[in-house]
Amino acid sequence: MADLMAQGRACDRTSDSSKQRDLFPKARALENGGGLFMQAGARENGGGLFMQTGARENGGGLFMQTGALENGGFKKDETKQADLFAEARARAGAAVQLLFCPCEHAGEALSALLPYGKAALVIDEAIPPQAAERVRVALKKFRPACAVIGGDFTQLFSLADDIRAAVGIGPRGIAGARFFATLRGAFSLLIPTDTAAEGLFAPFAPPPWQGYPLAPADMILADAALLQEAPALACFAGVCAEEAAICSAFGKREEEAPFRAIAEAFAAAESAEEKFSASAAFALEVQGRAPFACLGAAKLCPRPQLPALAAYFARRFLYLFGKAEIRPFFVADYPARIWRAARESGLSAKAVARNVHIPRGAESFALAERFLEVRARLAASAELLCRTLPAQPAPADGLFARLYDLSAELSPRLSAAVLERELGLLPTPPLAAPPVSV
């Protein structure tokens, strides 16, 4: 990366104005919350990659974004989604680098992290062989040791000790590469194949190694030709904004503006790159925050139904703040709700209980009074959200209603479902035997 920037500065000093226009050189300082970052452009070998680098003064964190040169002209990535990703990365304190270019540039990208050495190419078994071969050829310089994996990472332990980088392609390949890079202290380059962008930033390894903390990725290379449409948790960005607004209305200040911006960008995204950028920004934005109730429910929902579930949550918010009649002096059956949430979510009862705050009598009265004070404002906000999330048919088996009900115990937040529980609007779950593991 330093070499590329040095080449860019050398070109800038020696080229004439027409060449400078061709290179799109720019250096600008933007102030955002007291932090400054600089951007500069550079070309490598007559133009394969255009790189933007930045360093925030207050807290550090480097980032890199690239675009591909097509037909001799630079395809600039100046979309709103790219700005949102940069802002989310800065707030999360992440140093991951994001590139938009064909996967044939994987070798050049990895060279910015590791000038020479060996690499492992971890391939999801569901990836088409042609795509994997394109990446393998691009990594020829690094003599890649290839591993095709499904859900079992054990074969990665047999890779040579002198491998210094892991390249993952596809969801399971990405998880395997991050797991390998964490264990070996190696660099990681991830190549996603869908627009969901979720496993790229997961803090823990998936089964069978669940709970093992993963090191953050070093670089992500997004190739538009590989990115396939996929239901993404980013469709809940607007719902998360409403949950943040509820917390703020009841006394716990929560920043909601980033989620509203992401929701707008995700809804307006047309290209695969734009949808991926918005999804990646959302995945980074939820890092370090208390778990959102809606996302706890989303984990239990079939992925194709995620957009419909988000729309259902929006309409439950509107009902709660617009029409619901609260029941004073109501006391929820907390033990039954905790056992039921543990059984259906697969969590231990102790883990669920930590999400539940049982208010005292004075707290309950104060909660009801505050609800009456803020409900009109929150109803207006929920109505705007419903306009951006069109209603979709809900499953006939009542899945969405059950997941919304469960969400009250799947997050420590004061969510809309928690308000419904405390104000007597959620049904009491049927009595059931405690789960085996508590």
In this prediction, what percent of the chain has a pLDDT beyond 70?
Answer: 79
**Rounded Cα gap, residues 98 and 197, in angstroms:** 12
User: Which whole number is the average pLDDT over 80-84?
Assistant: 70
In which band, very low, low, confident or very high, does the pLDDT at 418 lie, cut at 50, 70 and 90?
Answer: very high
Residues 296 and 213 in one domain: no
- Range in 93-97, 150-154, 344-348 with the lowest mean pLDDT: 150-154
**pLDDT > 60? residue 162:** yes
Q: Which residues contact 136 (CB under 8 A, 6 or more apart)?
A: 121, 144, 146
Domain boundary among 198, 222, 246: 222
Residues 118 and 203 in one domain: yes
In a domain, 396, yes or no: yes
pLDDT of residue 168: 95
In a domain, 336, yes or no: yes
Residues 329 and 182 in one domain: no
Residues 297 and 432 in one domain: yes
pLDDT digits (tens, 9 = 90+) for 347-404: 999 999 999 999 988 999 999 999 999 999 999 999 999 999 988 888 888 999 999 9
**pLDDT > 60? residue 40:** no
Residues 203 and 334 in one domain: no
In a domain, 250, yes or no: no
Residues 202 and 313 in one domain: no
Q: Report the half-sphere exposure of 371 (CA within 13 A, side-chain side).
A: 24
Three-state SS at 66: strand
Distances (CA, A) of 54 to 39, 41, 42, 62, 100: 6, 11, 13, 5, 16
pTM over 0.85: no
pLDDT of residue 43: 34
**Rounded Cα gap, residues 436 and 438, in angstroms:** 6
**Rounded Cα gap, residues 126 and 169, in angstroms:** 10
pLDDT of residue 276: 94
> What is the number of structural domains in the chain?
2
Residues 212 and 299 in one domain: no
In a domain, 269, yes or no: no
Q: What are phi and psi of 46, to 5 degrees?
A: 80, 5
pLDDT of residue 82: 66
Domain boundary among 197, 222, 247: 222
**pLDDT > 80? residue 331:** yes
pLDDT of residue 198: 83
More confident residue, 294 or 3: 294
Burial class (CB in 10 A: 0-12, 13-18, 19+), 263: buried
**Rounded Cα gap, residues 416 and 316, in angstroms:** 8
Residues 332 and 205 in one domain: no
**Rounded Cα gap, residues 370 and 250, in angstroms:** 7
User: Which whole number is the average pLDDT over 21-43?
Assistant: 32
More confident residue, 71 or 202: 202
pLDDT digits (tens, 9 = 90+) for 167-199: 999 999 999 999 999 999 999 999 999 999 988
In a domain, 267, yes or no: no
In a domain, 253, yes or no: no
Closest-CA residue to 415 (of 347, 313, 338): 313
Residues 305 and 437 in one domain: yes
**Rounded Cα gap, residues 183 and 98, in angstroms:** 23
In a domain, 213, yes or no: yes
**pLDDT > 50? residue 64:** no
In which band, very low, low, confident or very high, does the pLDDT at 145 lie, cut at 50, 70 and 90?
Answer: very high
Residues 298 and 407 in one domain: yes
In a domain, 230, yes or no: no
pLDDT digits (tens, 9 = 90+) for 207-266: 878 888 999 999 999 999 999 999 999 999 999 999 999 999 998 888 899 999 999 999
**pLDDT > 80? residue 29:** no
Task: Find the CATH number of the domain harbouring 143.
Answer: 3.40.50.1970
Residues 187 and 308 in one domain: no
Which two three-digit tokens encode residue 385?
């959200």
Strand 62-70 versus strand 145-149 pairing type: unpaired
pLDDT of residue 288: 81
Domain boundary among 181, 204, 222: 222
- In the predicted model, what is the mean pLDDT of the chain? 81
Domain range for 421 is 292-438
pLDDT of residue 329: 79
In which band, very low, low, confident or very high, does the pLDDT at 80 lie, cut at 50, 70 and 90?
Answer: low
In which band, very low, low, confident or very high, does the pLDDT at 81 lie, cut at 50, 70 and 90?
Answer: low
Residues 68 and 209 in one domain: yes
Evaluated on CA atoms 249, 253, 259, 264, the torsion sign reads: positive
Q: What is the 3-state secondary structure (H, E, C) of 232-248?
A: CHHHHHHHHHHHHHHHH
**pLDDT > 60? residue 85:** yes
